[in-house]
Amino acid sequence: MVNIQKLKYKESLKDKCGIFGIYGKGQDVARISFFGLYSLQHRGQEGAGITVTDGKCFKSVKGLGLVSSVFNEEKINSLKGFASIGHTRYSTTGGNKLCNVQPVVLDLKDDNFALAHNGNIINAMDLAHELPPDVKLSSTSDTEIMGWVIKNSTGKNWEEKILTSFNKFQGAFSMIVLTKNKLIAFRDTYGFRPLVLGKLNKSYIACSETCALDTVGAKFIREVAPGEIVVIDERGIQTVGKVKSTKKSFCLFEYVYLARPDSVFNKQLVHLVRQRSGEILAHESPVGADMVVAVPDSGTSAAIGYSKASGIPYGEVLIKNRYIGRTFIQPEQHIRDMGVRIKFNPLKEIVNGKRIIIVDDSIVRGTTMKKIVKMLRNCGAKKVHIRVCSPPVTDPCYFGIDTPDKNKLIASHMNVKQIEKFIGADSLAYLSLEGLKKASRVNPNQLCTSCFDGKYPMPVQGGFRKDVFETII
Ligand code: AMP
């Protein structure tokens, strides 16, 4: 148990997660959730869990690691019910503990309540201190605090309680909650993180990305609007609350890196946004070369666009080991370093003697690109030009993406020329923010661009990340 009075902030853990919920009488909801989570694996690889209800009790299976290692046939079969929610978790140092794997279940005996959250609220500790003293937290996640705040709010049912507590939460939350007999999905008024709705025969689904709907064979219905609360039960999907959204701020980085290329947000297919960003970058920063290559898979769509617009042929040069996962996911720097080496193997014969343009979605710390450039040079590349299909990442995210602290972001303390030198490239160019916004085709006033320009859509307490905390021992 975590003693609320002894909580203190800890500036490391943040969540960039995938969530999936289904209401479907007569369906194997746990198995569908499993496949849904499987397709959202890219949003979090450190832990996964599914909670189901049979109308009387909840049952959960949770564990650390990939969806495929947490679940097996026996575990999926043990999850019987007609509605379920699931979560894939991504955190950094300190947060990778079983107690923080979601769904978070509030054990309320006759009225259980479980939450699956993507995002980050920035006032979690303030809210924790307002909770009644008898509340005992079992995790160190902001999600559990949100659960208790909702539980202690006024309202004759869960949806009313969610509505009354809604404005207390500052930050990003795309949330699916499970009660004894229904799902409730809601999204903060800024709409930072995605949340979409779909239909599978007579079942209804809420989840992070449309790729999960495609995977389970469901049809996309629409997105949950910023500030909207929907109930999903046997009657289908009903809006039960709308909190006024004064400023929309969809995360531009979802298009750059986080989302899968086959997902659609704001009617824009992520792959095409990335491809357009590559095309725009080719116009903004042309350079002569023999071939355009991608850092797979994050840079592939953009590299195709760069090649198309520049007329320089696209080719494969880096062969990725698809089983090692995202190197970024590893909290420790030395493990990340090793990860880059075992993740990509270059095709030496193709690289040798060529002028290469290497395209990636983003540079964060600079570790990956530096190693890739070195690998290509060792293979005999004549020139290595880097083109990055997003602007320099200068500021940390407080709203649910895991970017490191500001001082670890290479672009926070080096200009483009210095980064070029650090990485060892013949040239380096980033896409302009204007170019990226244009590629997204989303109203530029409705995008969160804070990681690129430090303009946060709400005050972030002087840069102090108030999203997580730990117990003082
Ligand atoms: P680095 O510059 O070495 O820190 O890593 C940059 C690479 O990590 C880019 O190629 C991106 O594809 C990927 N990346 C960017 N942001 C994130 C994130 N929040 N989580 C995981 N990987 C990321």
Beta strands 383-388 and 469-471: pairing type?
unpaired
Q: What is the mean pLDDT of the chain?
A: 91
399 lines ligand 1 (CB under 6 A): no
> Quick one: average pLDDT of 158-187?
97
Q: CA 230, CA 159: separation in Å to the nearest integer?
A: 8
> Is residue 207 flagged as an active site residue?
no
Beta strands 447-448 and 104-106: pairing type?
unpaired
Q: State residue 330's pLDDT score.
A: 56
The two three-digit tokens of residue 84, written as one number: 């379920």
Q: CA 304, CA 294: separation in Å to the nearest integer?
A: 8
Report the separation in Å between the CA atom of 363 and the middle of ligand 1, taken as the mean of its atom positions. 6
Which of 88-97, 116-125, 230-239, 340-349: highest mean pLDDT?
230-239
Q: State residue 12's pLDDT score.
A: 38
Q: State residue 390's pLDDT score.
A: 98
Q: State residue 465's pLDDT score.
A: 41
Say whether pLDDT at 413 is over 70: yes
3-state secondary structure labels for all residues of 165-214: HHHHCCEEEEEEEECCCCEEEEECCCCCCCCEEEEECCEEEEECCHHHHH
* Ligand 1 atom nearest residue 336's Cα: 3
Cβ atoms 20, 89 nearer than 8 A: no
Q: CA 452, CA 392: separation in Å to the nearest integer?
A: 6
For CA atoms 410, 415, 418, 423, the dihedral sign is positive
45 lines ligand 1 (CB under 6 A): no
Residues 255-294: tens digit of each pLDDT:
999 999 999 999 999 999 999 999 999 999 999 999 999 9
364 lines ligand 1 (CB under 6 A): yes
17, 207, 211, 389: the active-site residue: 17
* Ligand 1 atom nearest residue 362's Cα: 9
Q: State residue 403's pLDDT score.
A: 76
pLDDT, greater one: 321 or 68: 68
User: Which residue has a Cα nearest atom 7 of ligand 1?
Assistant: 363
pLDDT, greater one: 134 or 1: 134
3-state SS assignment for residue 14: coil
Instruction: Find the angle CA(437)-CA(440)-CA(441) to the nearest 5 degrees.
Output: 95
pLDDT, greater one: 2 or 401: 401
Residue found under tokens 């198309």: 308
User: Which residue has a Cα nearest atom 19 of ligand 1?
Assistant: 402
The two three-digit tokens of residue 154, written as one number: 């006024």
Say whether pLDDT at 467 is over 70: no
Which of 84-88, 128-132, 136-140: highest mean pLDDT?
84-88
DSSP 466: -
DSSP 235: T
pLDDT, greater one: 339 or 97: 97
Which ranges of 217-326 does DSSP label H, i.e. alpha helix?
252-253, 270-284, 300-310
Q: Place 95 in a pLDDT band, splitting at 50, 70 and 90.
A: low
> Quick one: average pLDDT of 390-411?
90
Residues 11-61: tens digit of each pLDDT:
434 557 999 999 999 999 999 999 999 999 999 988 999 999 999 999 999
Say whether pLDDT at 92 is over 90: no
Chain-centre distance for alpha carbon 434: 23
> Quick one: average pLDDT of 190-211?
98
Q: State residue 75's pLDDT score.
A: 98
Residues 213-222: tens digit of each pLDDT:
999 999 999 9
Q: State residue 94's pLDDT score.
A: 41
Q: State residue 462's pLDDT score.
A: 44
> Binding residue per annotation — 448?
yes
* Ligand 1 atom nearest residue 404's Cα: 19
Q: Give me the amino acid identity at 382.
A: K
Q: Place 471 in a pLDDT band, splitting at 50, 70 and 90.
A: very low
User: Which residue has a Cα nearest atom 4 of ligand 1?
Assistant: 365
DSSP E strand boundaries for 296-419? 318-320, 344-346, 355-360, 383-388
**What percent of the chain clears pLDDT 90, i.e. is strictly above it?**
78
Q: Place 154 in a pLDDT band, splitting at 50, 70 and 90.
A: very high
DSSP 314: B
3-state SS assignment for residue 275: helix
362 lines ligand 1 (CB under 6 A): yes
Residue found under tokens 């297919």: 269
Q: State residue 98's pLDDT score.
A: 82
Q: Place 188 in a pLDDT band, splitting at 50, 70 and 90.
A: very high
Of 68-72, 331-335, 455-459, which gets the smallest average pLDDT? Answer: 331-335
Residues 244-253: tens digit of each pLDDT:
999 999 999 9
Cβ atoms 200, 31 nearer than 8 A: no
Q: State residue 125's pLDDT score.
A: 86
Q: How many CB atoms lie within 10 A of CB 421?
A: 11
For CA atoms 463, 44, 332, 379, the dihedral sign is negative
Q: How many CB atoms lie within 10 A of CB 107?
A: 9
Q: Give me the amino acid identity at 329.
A: I
Which ranges of 217-366 does DSSP label H, i.e. alpha helix?
252-253, 270-284, 300-310, 333-343, 348-351
Cβ atoms 82, 54 nearer than 8 A: yes
Which residues on adjacent β-strands are paired with residue 386? Answer: 358, 428
Containing H/E element for 225? none
Q: State residue 11's pLDDT score.
A: 40
360 lines ligand 1 (CB under 6 A): yes
Q: CA 230, CA 233: separation in Å to the nearest integer?
A: 10
Cβ atoms 365, 340 nearer than 8 A: no
Cβ atoms 147, 127 nearer than 8 A: no
Q: Give me the amino acid identity at 250.
A: F
**What percent of the chain clears pLDDT 70, i.e. is strictly above it?**
89
Say whether pLDDT at 402 is over 80: no
Q: CA 297, CA 300: separation in Å to the nearest integer?
A: 5
3-state SS assignment for residue 386: strand
Exposed/middle/buried for residue 129 (C-beta within 10 Å: 0-12, 13-18, 19+): exposed
Instruction: Find the angle CA(410)-CA(413)-CA(416) to the nearest 5 degrees.
Output: 70
User: Which residue has a Cα nearest atom 10 of ligand 1?
Assistant: 362
Report the separation in Å between the CA atom of 58 and the middle of ligand 1, taken as the mean of its atom positions. 37
pLDDT, greater one: 405 or 432: 432
For the chain, the straight-line distance linking the first and the last C-alpha, in angstroms and rounded, comes to 12
> Quick one: average pLDDT of 127-148?
90
Q: What domains lie within the chain, and their CATH numbers?
A: 7-249+467-471 (3.60.20.10), 264-445 (3.40.50.2020)
pLDDT, greater one: 281 or 89: 281
Residues 222-263: tens digit of each pLDDT:
999 999 999 999 999 999 999 999 999 999 999 999 999 999
Q: State residue 332's pLDDT score.
A: 65
Instruction: Find the angle CA(95)-CA(101)-CA(104) to the nearest 5 degrees.
Output: 120
